[in-house]
Structures are given as C-alpha cells and as structure tokens.
C-alpha cells in the first residue's frame, strides 16, 4: 500500500467499525493517526494493517455508524389502585406482560401494547385443566386474587412527552371483577383481549387491534392518540382464530391487517395459507374478506402518506428457502393478492435454517426506502445464528442483501425502523457465546442482552456497530433451558420506533425478573422502554 494514497479519515472510520471501538479508544486512535501522519511511512501502515483491512481501505464503501446515547431504562407501570404487594410479583408496581409492540404519532406520542400473561389472572382459571391451576374465573385488579391485570384488554400504555413518562391510554382504566361478570358495554378496557398490534395513519389516528384468539377488537384513538373514539367493543367479525395480528395504517383510515390464523378461516376464499390479508378504507368499520398469503412467517408495513404497502414473508413453511417481498403501489387495493394491485412475490434473500418464530420484519419510510431483516439458523436453534438485511431505495424494485451478523451466538427477533432521512435502526435480542469464561455455547449462565445500532443510508457490506443497550441482562439461561434446548424465554418478538427526523429511537422490550408462581420453569415477564438519542 502506498502511504500517500491513504485517506486518514477513511482509515479511522474503517478501524472504528472493524474493531467496535468505544469512544475513549476512538480518541486514542485519532491521536495515533496524527502521530503516524507526522512520522510514518507506507511500510509502517502496511505492517499495522491486516490484508482484509487494507482491502477495506482501498475499496471502502462503509457507511458511518451513528453513536447512540441511551437514557435510563423504564419499567411500564400498573395503575396504582391495582398494585398488589402480596400477589407474588417481585416488582408489583409494574405490569406483567411480553411480546410488546410500539407505535408513534407525528408529534412523538408513543403507544405500547403487550401480551397479557393469561396465567396471572389469579390462582384459578376458566380453562382448567388445560392451563393447570384451579377451576374458576380469572380476575382483573381484584384485591386478594393475586392478579397482575389492570383491565380485561391487553396492556395499552401511552407517553405524551416523547417517552419521558408513561401512563395508561385513554379509555383504559382499571376494570376490577372476574371473567364471569366482565361485560363489553363500556368498550376500551372492558374488551377481553390478550395480544395486539398498533399502527398510526397519516391523520395521526391510532389503530389498536387486540385479539381474543377467536376474533379481534378495534380500539381507535384520535388527536395523536389522546381521545378514545370507539364507543363499544368494535368487533372485526373475521371469525379468524388469530394468534398474532399485524396492522399497518396509511392515508385517512386505510388499514391493512395481516392475520396469522395457522389454518384456513371458514369465511375466507377457497385458498389455503397460514397468513390472510384484510383491507379497510373506512377506519376499520368494514373489511374486505380475507385473501390467502401463501408462505411462512410474515409481517406487513406501509407508508403513512404514500401509497406503498409491503409484505415480507418466508417463501414456504420449510427449514430452508428464501425471503420474498410482495409490493402494492396502490394502497393494497384490489380483490386479492393475485388479481389486485399486489405484485408477484420477489425473492430478496436466502434462508439457511428455520429459526424459532423467525419473522422477517419489513419497514419503510416516505421516500421509497424499504428494508427487511431476518434471522437465520444454519447451525440449529441453539447454535450460532446469522442475521441478514435486504434494502431497497426505489420502492422495492432493486435490492441489496448481506449478512450483518455481529456476535458468535444467537441474534433473535431482529427489528428495524427507518426515518424519513434514511436512518435505519436495528435491534435484536442477543446471546454471545464468547462472553465470559463459560464452557460451551448455549449453556446455563449465558446472558441475554438487548443490542441496537443505527446507520444512515446503509449500503451492502456495511459493518453494523451493535452495542448492548440495557446493562442488565434480560434473562440468564437456566439448566432446564440448556437441557431442553429452549430458547423461548423472551418469547416471539419486540419492536422499535424512530422519529421522523431520525434524531431518536425508542424500544419496547421484555425482561425477566423472578420466578413465575403459576408456571413451572418460567419467570416473571416485564415490559421496559428505553430511548436513545441518535448523534447524526
């Protein structure tokens, strides 16, 4: 290498990204580069650089990782009148739940829902003996019944100060009582539900869909999510036994609902599939009947103001194969995915292994950027995972795909958000096999952590500078999990949001603390939030 041809600033960026340097070491690197500029020759640079690093310098196209300053993490609260110090919670003032999703309005108001822990509705349950325990009703906010529920719907938390403080959403007040006396007249917190999803349209209406497994309830909050509009429990009337609803909203009341029924719902077309697509243009009052989306695990995303909608999906329910993208540039309109405005599935990357609940996650922004991130398990569920990113800057016409793996270990449930100035933020639950001095890979004592990173205008080959966000481990592998190969302690997913100007990111995630009193080999599951300032 000729020293005269080396760009010292490019050299700094490559070394920083290659070796994941902390801030203090970056300063030392800068000082060292200055010294080398003063005194060194090309021979010394060639001696210092590995062959791979030298090639990076000569052919570098690596984008700049964005430093993130993380605020203190927060547990999401219970209503004060529902806190029960004797119910068995290690942290009784906080809500028990898992699998959180998060959305944000244009003014920065945040909304989080989470799967209600059905086993914590008191010591009895109406589904005995399937769920164990004693026969009897469930309870919400009932003194002496050992319940962690504040109301009958799934959790709905809101922040009206950009994530600084949290409360319960409008219409979601405590609803004490048991499952035999609870009713659906009042709407809101009276609507029986156990998990949901949230999306926001261009008019800043918040659409919250909560499922009872048998069907879905809609909750609509207007004025940046501050006013509850649904007067009664608004039933979706799909009759779909939905395990997880995915919702995307755009324009003024256009809603896309992707249902994971697992089997063909009776009212749908004659097709067969795991996922089914429903479309509404009146704010969820009515929906087109369902259309099959053939393939495996899937998610959906849409522009708020634009006309594009995307579905990312495994091509089939198989161990290996590909990830495909379905695109509509016309708000998803049409009579179905085969004869409407949707394109044929376009392959954007390979799958090397069938990870447990390995959703490919799609997201987009208002200027035509769309990206998909997914996990690969080429070495099995407890071996080292891989993580892949596909990105398009032209509304999904052309794609770049590459491996963005960061640790030698498990990189589970990656999720991404994209700002309107093309800052892409990715987070995942990670377990590093090289951390500490334990013998073996997926073994008792290994720590799960939340990782995140962000890059502006990422390009193929970029090295993502993922860092641990929360210094406290989310979960520590138990002897039972090692024996059973059980990697499901943090459940199926979590979500992130990013501000429109790309200046900050918010993450809703799960952490486990204390032994679960009603489930063997399980822990108490809590929802946390953390906000990070992106130093662009």
Start-to-end C-alpha separation, the chain: 32
H-run or E-run covering 467: strand 467-468
* Minimum mean pLDDT range among 131-140, 239-248, 468-477: 239-248
171 and 285, same domain (yes or no): yes
Phi, psi of 32, rounded to the nearest 5 degrees: -65, -40
Which segments within 169-229 are labelled E, that is strand? 177-178, 195-200, 206-211, 216-222, 227-228
Contact indicator for 406, 20 with CB cutoff of 8 Å:
no
95 and 114, same domain (yes or no): yes
42 and 118, same domain (yes or no): no
Domain count, the chain: 2
Tell me which DSSP letter residue 422 carries.
Answer: -
218: its two tokens: 């809609």
Phi, psi of 28, rounded to the nearest 5 degrees: -60, -40
53 and 175, same domain (yes or no): no
Tell me which DSSP letter residue 445 carries.
Answer: T
pLDDT value at 21 more than 70? no
95 and 14, same domain (yes or no): no
| CATH code of 348's domain | 2.120.10.30
Task: Out of 175-184, 329-338, 372-381, give the one with best mean pLDDT.
Answer: 372-381
Which segments within 245-393 are labelled E, that is strand? 245-250, 254-260, 275-280, 291-293, 298-302, 309-314, 321-328, 346-351, 361-364, 370-376, 386-392
Q: Specify the 3-state DSSP secondary structure of 87.
A: coil
pLDDT tens for residues 154-184? 999 999 999 999 999 999 999 999 988 877 7
409 and 338, same domain (yes or no): yes
* Minimum mean pLDDT range among 10-24, 160-174, 235-249: 10-24
102: its two tokens: 């998060």
Contact indicator for 17, 29 with CB cutoff of 8 Å:
no
Q: Which of 171, 194, 191, 197 is nearest to 258 (CA)?
A: 197
Q: What is the pLDDT of residue 59?
A: 42
C-alpha pair distances (Å), 183 with each of 134, 192, 211, 232: 23, 9, 16, 11
pLDDT average, residue stretch 503-532: 96
27 and 99, same domain (yes or no): no
Q: Which residue has the higher pLDDT, 26 or 121?
A: 121
Q: Specify the 3-state DSSP secondary structure of 324.
A: strand
51 and 145, same domain (yes or no): no
pLDDT tens for residues 189-240? 999 899 999 999 999 999 999 988 778 899 999 999 999 999 888 888 776 6
Q: Which of 259, 326, 329 is nearest to 287 (CA)?
A: 259
106: its two tokens: 């244009």
Neighbour-count burial for 97-122, b at 16+ CB within 10 Å, e otherwise? bbbbbbbbbeebbbbbbbbbbebbbb
Q: What is the pLDDT of residue 45?
A: 45
Q: What is the pLDDT of residue 15?
A: 52
Contact indicator for 91, 526 with CB cutoff of 8 Å:
yes
Residue 18: pLDDT band with limits 50, 70, 90 = very low
Last residue of a domain, one of 58, 76, 101: 58
CA dihedral 76, 78, 79, 84 (to 10 degrees): -160
C-alpha pair distances (Å), 404 with each of 21, 324, 325, 374, 375: 17, 18, 19, 10, 10
Domain that holds residue 39: 3-58
Cα 504 to Cα 164: distance, rounded to the nearest angstrom: 13
Q: Which of 508, 354, 349, 497 is nearest to 416 (CA)?
A: 497
50 and 103, same domain (yes or no): no
206 and 335, same domain (yes or no): yes
pLDDT average, residue stretch 431-456: 97
pLDDT average, residue stretch 261-265: 71
Number of helices (H) and strands (E), helices first, in the chain? 5, 35
- Record the pTM: 0.89
pLDDT tens for residues 379-433? 999 999 999 999 999 999 999 999 999 999 999 999 999 999 999 999 999 999 9
Residue 494: pLDDT band with limits 50, 70, 90 = very high
In the chain, % of residues over pLDDT 90: 69
Which residues, in sequence order, are CB contacts of 171 under 8 Å at separation 6+?
Answer: 187, 188, 189, 219, 221, 228, 230
Q: Which of 309, 320, 305, 233 is nearest to 277 (CA)?
A: 309
pLDDT average, residue stretch 287-291: 83
270 and 392, same domain (yes or no): yes
Contact indicator for 476, 445 with CB cutoff of 8 Å:
yes
Cα 502 to Cα 229: distance, rounded to the nearest angstrom: 30
Neighbours of 417 (CB within 10 A): 25
Residue 23: pLDDT band with limits 50, 70, 90 = very low
Provide the mean pLDDT of the chain.
Answer: 88
Q: Which of 452, 413, 532, 383 is nearest to 73 (CA)?
A: 532
97 and 211, same domain (yes or no): yes
Q: Specify the 3-state DSSP secondary structure of 330.
A: coil
């Amino acid at each position: 290498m000729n020293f005269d041809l080396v760009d010292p600033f490019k050299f700094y960026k490559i070394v920083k990204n290659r070796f994941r340097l902390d801030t203090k070491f970056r300063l030392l690197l800068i000082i060292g580069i200055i010294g080398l500029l003063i005194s060194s020759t090309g021979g010394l640079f060639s001696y210092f650089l590995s062959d791979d690093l030298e090639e990076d310098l000569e052919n570098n196209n690596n984008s700049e990782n964005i430093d993130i300053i993380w605020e203190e993490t927060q547990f999401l609260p219970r209503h004060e009148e529902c806190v029960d110090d004797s119910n068995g919670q290690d942290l009784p003032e906080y809500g028990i739940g898992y699998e959180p999703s998060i959305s944000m309005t244009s003014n920065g108001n945040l909304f989080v829902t989470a799967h209600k822990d059905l086993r914590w509705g008191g010591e009895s349950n109406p589904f005995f003996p399937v769920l164990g325990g004693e026969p009897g009703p469930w309870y919400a906010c009932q003194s002496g019944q050992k319940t962690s529920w504040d109301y009958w719907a799934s959790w709905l938390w809101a922040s009206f100060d950009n994530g600084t403080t949290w409360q319960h959403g409008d219409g979601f007040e405590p609803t004490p009582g048991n499952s035999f006396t609870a009713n659906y007249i009042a709407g809101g917190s009276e609507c029986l539900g156990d998990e949901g999803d949230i999306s926001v349209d261009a008019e800043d209406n918040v659409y919250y869909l909560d499922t009872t497994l048998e069907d879905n309830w809609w909750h609509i909050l207007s004025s940046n999510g501050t006013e509850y509009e649904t007067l009664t429990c608004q039933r979706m009337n799909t009759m779909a036994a939905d395990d997880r609803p995915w919702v995307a909203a755009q324009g003024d009341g256009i809603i896309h609902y992707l249902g994971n029924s697992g089997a063909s719902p009776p009212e749908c077309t004659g097709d067969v599939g795991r996922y089914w697509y429903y479309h509404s243009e009146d704010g969820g009052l009515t929906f087109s009947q369902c259309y099959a989306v053939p393939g495996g695990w899937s998610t959906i995303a849409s522009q708020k103001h634009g006309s594009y909608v995307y579905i990312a999906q495994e091509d089939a329910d198989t161990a290996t194969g590909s990830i495909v993208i379905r695109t509509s540039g016309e708000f998803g309109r049409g009579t179905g995915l085969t004869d409407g405005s949707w394109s044929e599935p376009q392959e954007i990357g390979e799958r090397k292994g069938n990870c447990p609940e390995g959703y490919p996650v799609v997201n987009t922004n208002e200027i035509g950027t769309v990206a998909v991130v997914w996990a690969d398990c080429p070495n099995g569920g407890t071996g080292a995972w891989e993580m892949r990113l596909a990105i398009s800057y032209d509304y999904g016409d052309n794609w770049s795909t590459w491996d963005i793996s960061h640790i030698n270990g498990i990189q589970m449930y990656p999720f991404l958000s994209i700002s309107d100035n093309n800052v892409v933020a990715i987070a995942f639950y990670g377990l590093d096999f090289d951390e500490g001095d334990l013998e073996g890979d997926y073994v008792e004592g290994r720590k799960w952590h939340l990782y995140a990173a962000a890059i502006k205008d990422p390009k193929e080959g970029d090295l993502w500078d993922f860092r641990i966000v929360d210094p406290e481990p989310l979960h520590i592998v138990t002897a039972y999990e090692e024996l059973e190969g059980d990697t499901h302690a943090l459940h199926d997913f979590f979500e992130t949001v990013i501000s429109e100007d790309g200046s900050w990111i918010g993450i809703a995630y799960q952490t486990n603390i204390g032994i679960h009193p009603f489930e063997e080999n399980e822990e108490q599951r809590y929802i946390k939030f953390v906000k990070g300032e992106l130093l662009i």
